[in-house]
Amino acid sequence: MNPASDDTALREAEIVDEFSIFDDPMDRYAYLIDVGKKLPVLPVALQRDEFLVPGCQSKVWLLSEQKEGRVWFQADSNTAITRGIIALLLRVLSGQSAAVIRSAELGFLDAIALRSHLSSQRANGLASMIARIKAMAVSAGLDEQAGQAERAGQTVQAGLSDQFTHDTPAAESTVQPPASSGPSPEDQIQPANQTPKQV
């Protein structure tokens, strides 16, 4: 994999630096809420049950889109803290390749002591969000592989069709009977009433 396509470590480091200035857990919560306020609001038309993340205490809507080999996410929540959590996850994972998302360890969550300060229900919700994001990445990766296989099949088929066109022999020419090089059998037969020539 091209290292330039995976900048999750850099993104995580930036988040850790931002939270490192807060010693009080309540200050970290306040900053987390501020992070969530910067998350673009999901249109109401997309806040449907089919996009809800199962296993979350709060409502969390999550959508994904695959484009140019990367997976992009949109998300929203009806609670401020959960909105901040999903905003951090998308900040690190959105726009990465499916393989990078699937293998991401997300160590920044422990580095900023987020897991340890969440209630058990919110911790379960965090695990559900991560699992859902990775499952979407797996699906996107399978779709990409299927698309590549389809395009490869089309290329092979086009190549075979082109080869068949070039290898097809031209229409055979009409075979003409060979020209006669001597008298026909009829010419060699003498009439019955004709006197044979003397040798």
Q: Which residues are catalytic?
A: 56
Phi and psi (nearest 5°) for 24? Answer: -85, 125
Give the count of alpha carbons within 13 A of 89, CB side only: 27
Q: Is the dihedral of CA 142, 107, 131, 75 positive or negative?
A: negative
Among candidate residues 4, 117, 27, the one with its CA nearest the CA of residue 18: 27
Q: Is the dihedral of CA 152, 5, 52, 44 positive or negative?
A: negative
Q: Do 112 and 85 touch, CB atoms closer than 8 A?
A: no
Q: Do 122 and 105 touch, CB atoms closer than 8 A?
A: no
Q: Is the dihedral of CA 113, 119, 123, 129 positive or negative?
A: negative
